[in-house]
Structure 1
């Protein structure tokens, strides 16, 4: 029997928990298989919480944080793609010889395609083409994933393993109305919003996607404690006093108890928005690529 399998591709340690923590936790709890690929080691992150790293460098510490976060989500399978964090847009580190941003797309996609063939996922999730907020590694993760899924299915591709066709490929997104609701909830509660203190319309927010484009809307309220525990595990990046962990419960439900996705490749099952990324995929269904 083929276990329904999810593969989530994220650029840095902590992205998996912020973007897909609820999806990952609920997938495991449902008896499905969840695998995470992290494209870089997060070398350009900062010790934002000012924690004591002891004798470790930040990358070593972030590896432990990621392991703790995955444990909180119940995920037991993880791989690094082997690239270096590129830093924010315009940073000199964008041009580091090992940066993910500067990596050859075919070479990087080949690495990921080999993982796809080995893992044989039915569902793959990555960033969208904008990288949510434009970070070079998030954008690159999208393009590498799109190409890797195609390579994995191509019997002519020079990729180790047997060809495998992913059934459904999604991108994780945030709808503009959700962002606007979060912003106004924070303002109404007298709290600081990432978007300032003005009455900003959804259409004027600096990022987010149109609600009409969202094809999957997951209620992860039951898994929110695990998601927040996973986020808290990334102690150097998300401190105890961070916005992510300290908003009131009602606002936390608005901000974090929903995860949204767009189906870019594959067929949706039933009415939209979907409430299960595995909808239409049976437990015994295997999808090798056509020869």
Structure 2
């Protein structure tokens, strides 16, 4: 007899990634998602907004379709490229860049009540019952309001999902490990210098930019996990290319020389913020040491 999703959650390692907009999942965690799915792990993606404030950066012909509807189709294509079959929208509106007028839209994710948004996500956590949850860090990687909110909502949702007294549908569920995706400052610096040396435009600053002036990145010593996704880079690339309105054919993400592509995308980095620390740092598997509810070790 086929097992229910609730039964699967007891034994199958389950990953849930929370991302603010369509395309963030492919850029930030595409390799992890593809690898996890290919290895038989259950993978679920939550997208917090519809990307309403995005622009048709590639200037593609949308026909009679509006951009939000088109981005929904792009996301579906990207998830298919990654092998991800389970997805949910959290139901908020894109807040736009920091300081933009869209920040004040009453339906924006930025303005959403924290506990209300967290209850929505906690209900998904209780239904999906993931062992590992991944989101942006507290700085929202590069400061976008929706990325910051995705972090705070995820932190609170993990708390509510485990709280027997919380006003959240479903049986309580304790997420074993919560991570944030990140990129170490030295890796970012190496990429910047390699782009400059190759006479390519770097999105991280001018040729004379100093390491301490990089726009984002975390100190190397806080990285706790490095996941090798080189085998799954073609899937990640296909997923990014599926977001045609946001990532044009001539974009930075799709046109790095092969050596730089491997350097920047073959390893995805993460920071463990909640859960048992691993004796091995950096970890090479986010599921290492996790046991299912019946006591069976599901990974590591």
TM-score range, shorter chain: over 0.9
Aligned position for 1:162: 171
Aligned position for 1:89: 98
| Structure 1 residue matching 2:91: 3-state secondary structure | strand
Aligned position for 1:246: 255
Aligned position for 2:61: 52
Between the aligned partners of 2:215 and 2:66, the Cα distance in structure 1 is 34
Between the aligned partners of 2:118 and 2:207, the Cα distance in structure 1 is 42
Shift of 1:126: 0.3
User: What pairs with 1:131-280 in structure 2 (closer than 5 Å)?
Assistant: 131-280=140-289
Task: Indicate the RMSD between aligned Cα atoms, in angstroms.
Answer: 1.3
Per mean C-alpha deviation after superposition, the further-off stretch among 203-212 and 141-150 is: 203-212
- TM-score in terms of structure 1 length: 0.96
Between the aligned partners of 2:65 and 2:294, the Cα distance in structure 1 is 45
| Structure 2 residue matching 1:254: 3-state secondary structure | helix
**Conserved 8 A contact 1:216-1:263:** yes
Matching of residue 75 in structure 1 with residue 102 in structure 2: no
Matching of residue 38 in structure 1 with residue 38 in structure 2: no
Match among 11, 19, 25 for residue 28 of structure 2: 19
Match among 89, 103, 107 for residue 112 of structure 2: 103
**CA-to-partner distance for each residue in 1:44-85, whole Å, 9 max, x for gaps?**
000000000010000000000000000000000000000000
Shift of 1:150: 0.1
- TM-score in terms of structure 2 length: 0.93
**CA-to-partner distance for each residue in 1:103-127, whole Å, 9 max, x for gaps?**
0000000000000000000000000
Between the aligned partners of 1:193 and 1:285, the Cα distance in structure 2 is 50
Aligned position for 1:6: 15
For these two proteins, the number of residue pairs brought into alignment is 287
Between the aligned partners of 1:219 and 1:2, the Cα distance in structure 2 is 24
Between the aligned partners of 2:295 and 2:162, the Cα distance in structure 1 is 13
Between the aligned partners of 1:209 and 1:79, the Cα distance in structure 2 is 29
Match among 55, 68, 72 for residue 63 of structure 1: 72
